[in-house]
Amino acid sequence: MKLVNNTNQKKDIKKISDQEAENAFRTILAWIGENPSREGLLETPKRVVKAFKEYFKGYKEDPNIILDKTFGDVEGYDDMVVQKNISVQSHCEHHMAPIIGKAHVAYIPRDRVVGLSKLARVVEVFSKRLQTQERLTMQIANTLMKSLDAKGVAVTIDSTHQCMTMRGIKKEQASTVTNYYLGQFKEDLSYQNRYLRFISTQKE
């Protein structure tokens, strides 16, 4: 699967002002049959623009910068580092409906490790963009593998897509699981199996 380089695409996109975005949301309110001028909706376009800035803040963040600082004082630690149950809130690129779930991330350091919070922040950066779950999983894994020069990376995402739970087929209990393995996790099934056992173990 070929990954799209969002950075190159941005060069051709016209800068849209907050006011233009608010006007667009007023048009949508009228389109669905509402009156954008009624009291309860007067500030709605401004609130939606503010919310969208939060939902899609990942477009303005660089995950490679997040992973720039690493630590070498780990006394030779060379086994996997696993971080489970990282919350994921994203939006699908087909209907702009929420994707809600959890990510599990693991990497095998070569010489250096990264602060634990940075793993969750990388998940956050890519989640705060319009996504498909498959691409989101791969982007996280490829970025960790390259930026950390890791021996291996594994990423799993388990989520529900409201584009199919609230509309369309309306299967409320359906969840989607994606996995992506690189390096030793892909080449050595013993690492992959250990990782899968770790992320399936629940706290008592």
- Of 91, 92, 139, 162, the active-site residue reads 92
CB atoms within 10 A of CB 78: 10
**Would 16-55 and 65-200 be classified into the same CATH topology?**
no
Q: 34, 61, 83, 95: which is the annotated catalytic residue?
A: 95
Buried b (16+ CB within 10 A) or exposed e, 23-37: eebbeebeeeeeebe
For residue 6, the model assigns a pLDDT of 54
In CATH terms, the fold of domain 16-55 is GTP Cyclohydrolase I; Chain A, domain 1 (1.10.286)
- The question of whether 91 is a catalytic residue gets the answer no
Q: Pick the catalytic residue: 61, 83, 89, 93? A: 93
Quote the pLDDT of residue 1.
39
Q: Which residues pair with 90 in a beta bridge?
A: 99
* Domain ranges for the chain: 16-55, 65-200
**Could you tell me the pTM of the whole model?**
0.90
pLDDT at 2: 43
Query: Is 92 among the catalytic positions?
Result: yes
CA distances (Å), origin 31, targets 24, 49, 50, 133: 10, 18, 21, 30
pLDDT one digit per residue (tens) for the chain, 204 residues: 344 455 445 566 789 999 999 999 999 999 999 999 999 999 999 999 999 999 999 999 999 999 999 998 888 888 999 999 999 999 999 999 999 999 999 999 998 999 999 999 999 999 999 999 999 999 999 999 999 999 999 999 999 999 998 888 888 889 999 999 999 999 999 999 999 999 997 665
Catalytic residue among 22, 104, 139, 163: 163
43 noted as active-site residue: no
Query: Do residues 195 and 82 touch, judged by C-beta distance below 8 A?
Result: yes
- Cite the beta strand spans of the chain per DSSP E: 70-71, 81-92, 98-108, 113-114, 130-131, 152-161, 176-183
Per annotation, catalytic residue among 19, 20, 43, 94: 94
What's the CA dihedral at 157, 48, 4, 187 to 10 degrees? Answer: -10
Q: Could you say which of 133, 139, 162, 184 is catalytic?
A: 133
Q: Please report the pLDDT score of residue 203 as a whole number.
A: 61
Burial zone of 180 (CB within 10 Å; 0-12 exposed, 13-18 middle, 19+ buried): buried
Catalytic, 192? Answer no
Q: What is the CATH number of domain 65-200?
A: 3.30.1130.10
**Which distant-in-sequence residues (6+ apart) come within 8 Å of 196 by Cβ?**
none
Q: Active-site residue 94, yes or no? A: yes
Asked if 178 and 169 count as a contact pair (C-beta separation under 8 A), the reply is: no
Candidate list 161, 162, 184, 192, residue with the active-site label: 161
